[in-house]
Amino acid sequence: MAKYIPLSVPSLKGDELKYVKECIDTEWVSSAGKYVDKFERDIASYTGSKYAVACVNGTSAIQVSLRLAGVMPGDEVIIPTLTFIAPVNAIWYNNASPVFMDCDDFYNIDIQKTIEFIKNKTEFRDGNTFNKTTTKKISAIIPVHVWGNACLLDELIPLCNDRNIAVIEDASESLGTRYIEGKFSEKHTGTIGKIGCLSFNGNKIITTGGGGMILTDSTSIAEKAKYLTTQAKDDPIKYIHHEIGYNFRLTNIQAALGVAQLEKISEIIKRKSEIHRKYKDGIKHLDGINIAEGPNYAKNNNWLNMIIIEHSLFKEKPIELMQRLELNNIQTRPVWALNHLQKPYNLYQSYKIEKALKMVDRSLCLPSSYSLLDEEIKLVIDKIHG
């Protein structure tokens, strides 16, 4: 039987084993140790963020970041409906609620509609922004850079600064993506808002098994992030706590994996870009199917490739194509179900959601692992042809 081609899996063929073995040999396996500090320094230096604070996973990084940004119980947070559900749940963990936005051509939050919403549907009073419909305070927004595609933040950042809305970037999928045009040219995704969050889950561009990171240029936010993620110890000897913290610190073993993975990120991104090009070339003559392209204002990490199906020109819907490819040992996945329609969230406000419905209906994610072989890419392309 042919080998199964998964959607997105890690590759651990660098110094991962060596560094993890060192943790075990030295018995530094838990939430302190040189690799946690080194991984934080290495991520900060790679992304150009002043500080990086490690977390057990990306979801917890977002949860803490919302609190660090001043989101209070009862507040609202603006979020795209088209995203993995983790950042939406992170809002709820802070006893706040989501306001859902539509997506743009790159599956990212529709910045123009978001700006229109902030300008027309909210009011600025006593230094805060209030939702005219719900009367609640909107204290933050989470642009999610989906599939490595960078959200265009040039206009959103100054507006949010004026309106006292904290920008928390969810860069879980876009480590390595950087802007090449505009106000934030040369900056990495995750380093532009007040806080940025990364994930090192097994399916992401680099992995620690499970892990996340909080990025910020603010010394006070970085210090508070470390304090809150390590049980808010005001006096660690006498066990004095002035606030309620979390046990969200990454372990040394996970960080050791991360250090080794990060050493290979340039190579990983280079291969990802080749995979993207091969898919694009292989599919360009097929009517009704295109490979989704990232925006040209950024250099994309090409974490995951997707096809967009034109229903009038291609015989199968994404789910039908997925099922047929599965029979050929090829794993593909549809785009996430929209969050404003999910059971826990369908009673919250959503604003003019149109394009997201179409994008979900037309898209399918393709196998995109770093370790994907050229012949496997060719096989996927052949099977898509039918």
Ligand X SMILES: *Cc1c(COP(=O)(O)O)cnc(C)c1O
**Residues making contact with ligand X (CB under 6 A):** 57-59, 83-84, 86-87, 144, 170, 172-173, 199, 201, 212
Report the residue number whose CB is nearest to ligand X: 58
DSSP strand pairing (212-216 vs 51-55): antiparallel
Smallest distance from ligand X to CB 258, Å: 12
Q: Pick between residue 114 and residue 339 the one whose CB is nearest to ligand X.
A: 339
Instruction: Choose between 144 and 256: whose C-beta lies nearer to ligand X.
Output: 144
Q: How far is the CB of 65 from ligand X (least distance, A)?
A: 11
| Token output for 305 | 């490739």
For residue 284, what are the contacts with CB-CB under 8 A and spacing of at least 6?
none
Q: Judged by CB, which is closer to ligand X: 33, or 58?
A: 58
What SS3 state is found at 130?
A: strand
Q: How far is the CB of 203 from ligand X (least distance, A)?
A: 7
Contact in structure between 320 and 342 (CB atoms under 8 Å): no
CB atoms within 10 A of CB 44: 20
CB of 327 to ligand X, least distance (A): 27
| Separation between Cα atoms, residue 299 and residue 302, nearest integer Å | 9
CB of 110 to ligand X, least distance (A): 16
Q: HEC string of 7-49?
A: CCCCCCCCCHHHHHHHHHHHCCCCCCCHHHHHHHHHHHHHHCC
Question: Which C-beta is closer to ligand X: that of 141 or that of 283?
Answer: 141
Contacts of 204 (CB under 8 A, 6+ apart): 8, 58, 172, 173, 175, 303
Closest contact distance (angstroms) between CB of 266 and ligand X is 22
Closer residue to ligand X (CB): 59 or 332: 59
- Measured from the CB atom, the residue of 16 and 169 that comes closer to ligand X is 169
CB of 144 or CB of 307, closer to ligand X: 144
The answer to whether 23 touches 253, Cβ cutoff 8 Å, is yes
Closest alpha carbon to 171 in 156, 202, 192: 192
- Structural contact between residues 306 and 292, judged by C-beta atoms closer than 8 angstroms: yes
**If we measure between CA atoms, which residue out of 244, 360, 370 comes closest to residue 309?**
360
CB of 282 to ligand X, least distance (A): 26
